[in-house]
Structures are given as C-alpha cells and as structure tokens.
C-alpha cells in the first residue's frame, strides 16, 4: 500500500513532529518546531496552522491557559501510527519514518529492518510521567509486576525515560520500596495522579549517577585471525573496546550486546566477545 504525499520532505518531518508532540506531551508550541528544525517562529506558526487546516482538521485546538495547542477529544493520528515508541524515539533522536510514509521514494527498496514487537503505552500515562519528571513531582499510579500480577498503587518520583533497545522504562524512586527502580512503561495501569514535589531527585540515584566502563575483548579462545576479525567488527583498539555507561544500565548494555559475563558458551565462535573487567561491573549486575 502506498500514498502520494504532496508535501516536501522537510514539511512531512515537521508535520509529523507536530502530531507526535501534541499527542504524547499534550501541549505543542512553536518552540518545539523552532528548536528541532532551526526555523523561525513565524514559519513554525504557519506549519501548525497548515497541519490543522490541510492535514488533520479537528485534531488540535489552542488552549490559552496552556499557551499552546492540545489534542482535541476527537484527535486521530493522520501521519503517524499513534504508538508511544514514535514519541520515545523522537526523544532518543532515533526516528524511523520510512514505515509511515510508504509512498516516499527513499531509495531503500532493497533494505529491510527487523521489526520487534512494540509495547502498548497509553498517552495519558506517558504524559503524566513526562510532566512529573520535568517538574520533579511525585506520581501516584498503578503498576503490574511479575511478583505482583495484580495492579498495585505506587507512588514514584520519576526522573528519566530509558530505552534499552527492546523496551522503554522510567527510572524512578519507589516510595514503597524506598529505592530507585526501573518501571516498564507498558505495565502501568489506570489514571495517574500528579502530586506534590518529589522527595528525592536524580542526583540521589547512586546507580544512575555512577559511570562504569565495560571493557570488551575477543574471546581468548579464538585464533589470532579470528580475533582480528572480531576486533574489526566492533571497532576495537588493541583488541579492546571500552563502553561507558551508567551503573544502572550495565545489565541492559550487556543484553543488547548479547553478552552474559556469567555464562561461557561452549564454542568461542558463538561467544565471540567477553567482558575483560568483570570484577569492576559485577556489583552492578541484576
């Protein structure tokens, strides 16, 4: 299925950002476009009005109290799929727009991208998490966990959204457990309530503030020639690659690399890379 888009590529990007920000943040201003695309306020205002008039009439309305545009009750995505990952990937500066604008000639007919399952997140939940994080507020919200499959009310102090490569979670202080935890976005339920000021801040999250270097090397069981191949694959210097990350993300980084430092594959060709400084990172593993 293809569509003919009578708009320039740069306009499509701006219209798409308008739709994504409005749906998932609940407030759109000209600053979103000005800061993202380096255009003037007059052009940004023109783009927003063009989206409302030509792309999706009835999707947005101006709210004087918010001093910006908000989605109407009849809002329906016109240029996007309406899933949380589209907004979250904008945050990560890692947008993939080719699957939405299928009619565009991107010169990529002979390429294929592995599509992993997306996890459903309600806009109302994500908006509240974003607002609470931005304003450093407490958030009351129901959460499901594998240890507690019945939705349980939690009060959390969120500070950062994190993408692990397969899923999104929010790093937050859990008042019930009195510790910082990772909460998977797709496991929140109900209607969140934004409360008063947060009890703790990101600066108090030790695992978040601690930087760790993961040093990778080719599996020592490989031959010299095989080690050189692996080193070239990963861009290693002197057969070592140092990856700097936060302590709370060490486990996720290793999962993304398909490396389990506590498990040795029978064949070095299957293992390929190993963690050289296991003693340094062991305390940060789950």
Same domain, 146 and 182: yes
DSSP state for residue 186 in the 8-state scheme: G
The torsion region of residue 280 among left (phi > 0), alpha (psi -120 to 50) and beta comes to alpha
> Of 91, 106, 135, which residue is a domain's last?
91
Same domain, 129 and 193: yes
> In the predicted model, what is the mean pLDDT of residues 100-125?
63
Note the pLDDT tens digit of each residue in 113-138.
567 788 889 999 999 999 999 999 99
In the chain, what percentage of residues exceed pLDDT 70?
A: 89
Q: Which pLDDT belongs to residue 113? A: 58
Same domain, 188 and 227: no
**Residue 87: pLDDT band with limits 50, 70, 90:** confident
Within a domain: 179:
yes
Same domain, 230 and 194: no
Higher pLDDT among residues 107 and 90, named by residue: 90
Q: Which pLDDT belongs to residue 62? A: 95
Same domain, 25 and 84: yes
Mean of all residue pLDDT scores within the chain: 88
Same domain, 272 and 238: yes
* pLDDT above 70: residue 92: no
The torsion region of residue 99 among left (phi > 0), alpha (psi -120 to 50) and beta comes to alpha
CA dihedral 132, 137, 138, 143 (to 10 degrees): 10
Within a domain: 3:
no
Q: Write the CATH number for 73.
A: 1.10.10.10
Q: Which pLDDT belongs to residue 1? A: 36
Same domain, 215 and 278: yes
**Residue 155: pLDDT band with limits 50, 70, 90:** very high
Within a domain: 107:
no
Q: Report the alpha-carbon distance of residue 179 to residue 222 in Å, rounded.
A: 42
Within a domain: 148:
yes
Q: Report the alpha-carbon distance of residue 244 to residue 185 in Å, rounded.
A: 25
Same domain, 189 and 214: no
Note the pLDDT tens digit of each residue in 162-174.
988 888 999 999 9
Spatial CA neighbour of 137 closest among 189, 60, 198: 198
> Of 43, 67, 91, which residue is a domain's last?
91
> In the predicted model, what is the mean pLDDT of residues 256-274?
89
Q: Which pLDDT belongs to residue 147? A: 84
Within a domain: 117:
no
Note the pLDDT tens digit of each residue in 57-77.
999 999 999 899 999 999 999
**Residue 266: pLDDT band with limits 50, 70, 90:** confident
Q: Which pLDDT belongs to residue 142? A: 96
Spatial CA neighbour of 126 closest among 45, 63, 185: 185
> Of 157, 174, 201, which residue is a domain's last?
201
In the chain, what percentage of residues exceed pLDDT 90?
A: 69
Q: Which pLDDT belongs to residue 6? A: 62
Task: Report the domain count for the chain.
Answer: 3
Higher pLDDT among residues 5 and 120, named by residue: 120
Q: Report the alpha-carbon distance of residue 159 to residue 131 in Å, rounded.
A: 10
Least confident of 44-53, 111-120, 168-177, 218-227: 111-120
Burial of 46 (0-12, 13-18, 19+ CB in 10 A): middle
Note the pLDDT tens digit of each residue in 172-202.
999 999 999 999 999 999 999 999 999 999 9
Within a domain: 26:
yes
Q: Which residues form the domain of 149?
A: 123-201
Q: Report the alpha-carbon distance of residue 102 to residue 3 in Å, rounded.
A: 7
Same domain, 81 and 140: no
Same domain, 193 and 220: no
Within a domain: 135:
yes
Q: Write the CATH number for 137.
A: 2.30.30
* pLDDT above 70: residue 94: no
Within a domain: 106:
no
């Amino acid at each position: 299925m293809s569509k003919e888009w009578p708009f320039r590529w740069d306009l499509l990007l701006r219209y798409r950002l308008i739709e994504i920000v409005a749906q998932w943040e609940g407030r759109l201003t000209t600053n979103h476009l000005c800061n993202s695309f380096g255009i003037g306020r007059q052009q940004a205002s023109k783009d927003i009005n063009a989206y409302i008039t030509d792309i999706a009439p009835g999707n947005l309305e101006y709210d004087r109290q918010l001093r910006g545009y908000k989605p109407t009750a009849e809002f329906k995505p016109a240029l996007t799929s309406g899933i949380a990952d589209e907004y979250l990937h904008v945050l990560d500066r890692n947008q993939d727009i080719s699957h939405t604008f299928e009619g565009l000639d991107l010169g990529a007919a002979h390429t294929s991208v592995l599509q992993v399952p997306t996890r459903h997140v309600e806009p109302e939940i994500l908006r509240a998490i974003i607002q609470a994080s931005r304003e450093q507020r407490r958030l009351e919200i129901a959460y499901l966990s594998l240890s507690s499959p019945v939705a349980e009310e939690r009060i959390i102090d969120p500070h950062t959204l994190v993408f692990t490569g397969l899923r999104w979670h929010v790093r937050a202080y859990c008042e019930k457990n009195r510790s910082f935890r990772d909460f998977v976005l797709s496991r929140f339920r109900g209607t969140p309530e934004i409360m008063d000021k947060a009890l703790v801040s990101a600066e108090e999250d030790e695992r978040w503030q601690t930087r760790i270097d993961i040093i990778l090397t080719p599996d020592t069981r490989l031959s010299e020639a095989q080690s050189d191949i692996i080193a070239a694959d990963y861009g290693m210097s002197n057969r070592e690659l140092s990856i700097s990350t936060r302590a709370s993300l060490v486990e996720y980084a290793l999962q993304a690399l398909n490396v389990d430092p506590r498990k040795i594959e029978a064949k070095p060709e299957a293992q390929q890379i190993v963690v050289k400084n296991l003693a340094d990172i062991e305390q940060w593993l789950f």
